[in-house]
Amino acid sequence: MNNKNPALSTIRHLWSWWIILPALVTIIAYARASEDFNISETQLRAHVEYLTSSKLGGRATPARGSVLAQRYIAALFEKYQLQTMPGAPHYRQNIPLIVSRTDYERSRMIVKKNDQTQTFLPDRDVFFFPRGGRDADLTAPVMLTGYGIRAPEFGYDDFAGADPKGKLLLIFNREPQEKDSTSIFNGAKPTKYSQPQVKVRLARESGALGLLIIQPPNNDLPPIETTLDRYRQSQNESLIQLADDQEAFPVFYLKTEAAQFLLGPDFDLSGYQKAIDENLKSAPRLLPNTEVTLSIRFKEVKKKSTANIVGYYPGQTDEVVLVVAHHDHIGSQGGAINPGADDNASGTAGLLEIAREITQRGEKLKRGVIFLSTGAEEVGTLGSLYFSRHLPVPTPKIVAALNMDCIGRDASTQFRAMQDTTLGPEPNTLMIFYSGQTPALDSLARKNNETTKLNLVLEPSLHFSGSSDHIHFHDLGIPSLFFFTGFHRDYHTPGDTSEKLNWEKMTRIGRLACDMVIDMANRPQRPLFDRTIKDVKSTGRKYGG
């Protein structure tokens, strides 16, 4: 029926708007709320601006700036109504520290061999970068023990037939057959067994008292002091370590002259190495009539503390996904503040935004989420190490760990950028390094990236040797991911400022991380860490969206 009465038509028109107006209001309100639920560039900026402000002074550990950062994060966790966890009242997990300096002037290595005694001085004849904080005098016999490696998956054992207990082990740096592309040790690419920290763990497990490390003579390597240059530059800085780790396990690197005195003039060190590399059979031997005393001294020893900030969003089960970012940085140097916008105000802001989005959505996830903002990362990943030793839930209940460290720049995807600042940035690129023992993490990242459409560099690793927080969770057999946008010339300088961050890209990275966390929390099957996987194929730095 066609009604042409203008007044009636107007009334009906107004009536129709009156009916649909509440619905429109609801839709607009929902749209705004949904927008708030997304990772917000505005919120990311606010977090970064606070964390990089001058009053935080670069967030050094332990210093007032890092304490202010911790209070800020804890206050937001409370605002988001995250729960606290055992061992972290008011969201704060206290980390006892020891701060000290090595007293190199009073430290020594003294070797008694037959009827001769010789003293070797630090930073001249020998080099060491001790942990501890307690003075130590250690005297022990010396056992030559190949490369100091026990690798059952490769059928290799330098300790076979030996009794290292109570001895100092004299070992080669690196690993066997390191230039052989057919080597069982991952060809010419190093494995975790080449890393000093792995050798320390194996030596301690064997009952040894310390390590003496020398360059393998057949590998055409530079002198040991050249290899250690980067560490020597910082050897007079304060040592910051966990109070639990005060017991010293000395690791000394020896120049050729010190090694020759230990072994004696007639020992064929080149032939010894050649036999190991050719046959992959070690021949541990006790050095006759040889005794070494290591005298290690510390000064300016002080007790300090810092904290991790820990919040919990409960799920329907007692399994959890762990989200990690460190809030500390390196403070001031030479009177200039290092604001640490990319490293790692960016990752901390990402963590806070993921916490806000998940809590505001209010969705009951199958698994809970632990938000861990670590302290003391810049001084040796101490916060995550402490957390890994004092977990609020059993290790098997943590199904995955996602670490964000430097997610705000378009920087180099080649790690040599730390030395080569001429390398150009790779636009719109995010590197995701992940546990090679969990291949499913690759497809999980690609699936969730269908929305954010970043250029992903997906790189599996069986053995993480970098210095960021994910390494300790990977070592526990927890599937781990590391989000990283690359090194740049402003890394650890006053130039790492907020105006240089790529906010649009950083927002997309936050959304990808959030989507992956929710995916891992809800998927029926948890990602598995398969320790039987002994080899992974590098992506060759190829991009994939």
**337-395 pLDDT per residue, tens:** 999 999 999 999 999 999 999 999 999 999 999 999 999 999 999 999 999 999 999 99
In a shared domain, residues 367 and 245:
no
In a shared domain, residues 317 and 457:
yes
In a shared domain, residues 230 and 166:
yes
> Does residue 383 sit within a domain?
yes
Single out the residue in 269, 296, 323 at which a domain terminates. 296
In a shared domain, residues 93 and 108:
no
pLDDT of residue 422: 65
> Does residue 528 sit within a domain?
no
Domain that holds residue 234: 104-296
> Does residue 342 sit within a domain?
yes
Whether residue 62 has a cis bond before it, omega within 30° of 0: yes
Yes or no: say if 486 and 418 are a contact pair by the CB < 8 Å rule. no
> Does residue 243 sit within a domain?
yes
- The span from the CA of 543 to the CA of 545, in Å, is 7
**Closest of 166, 209, 498, 454 to residue 329, by C-alpha:** 498
- The span from the CA of 34 to the CA of 216, in Å, is 61
pLDDT of residue 313: 98
pTM of the model: 0.82
> Does residue 476 sit within a domain?
yes
In a shared domain, residues 87 and 137:
no
pLDDT of residue 368: 98
| pLDDT < 50: residue spans in the chain | 1-36, 540-543, 545
CATH number where 252 lies: 3.50.30.30
pLDDT of residue 146: 97
In a shared domain, residues 260 and 320:
no
> Domain total for the chain?
2
> Does residue 439 sit within a domain?
yes
In a shared domain, residues 166 and 207:
yes
In a shared domain, residues 283 and 318:
no
Instruction: Please list the alpha-helical segments (H only) found in 38-130.
Output: 41-51, 64-79
Yes or no: say if 522 and 438 are a contact pair by the CB < 8 Å rule. no
Single out the residue in 261, 296, 331 at which a domain terminates. 296
CB-hemisphere CA count at 13 Å for 514?
A: 25
Single out the residue in 236, 265, 296 at which a domain terminates. 296
> Does residue 404 sit within a domain?
no
In a shared domain, residues 292 and 322:
no
- The span from the CA of 80 to the CA of 355, in Å, is 7
pLDDT of residue 9: 42
In a shared domain, residues 334 and 481:
yes
358 Cβ contact partners less than 8 Å away, ≥ 6 residues apart:
313, 365, 369, 514, 517, 518
In a shared domain, residues 199 and 134:
yes
Q: What is the pLDDT of residues 272-315, one digit of tens each?
A: 999 999 999 998 999 999 999 999 999 999 999 999 999 999 99
Q: Name the DSSP class of 194.
A: G
CATH number where 75 lies: 3.40.630.10
> Does residue 411 sit within a domain?
no
In a shared domain, residues 91 and 218:
no
pLDDT of residue 156: 95
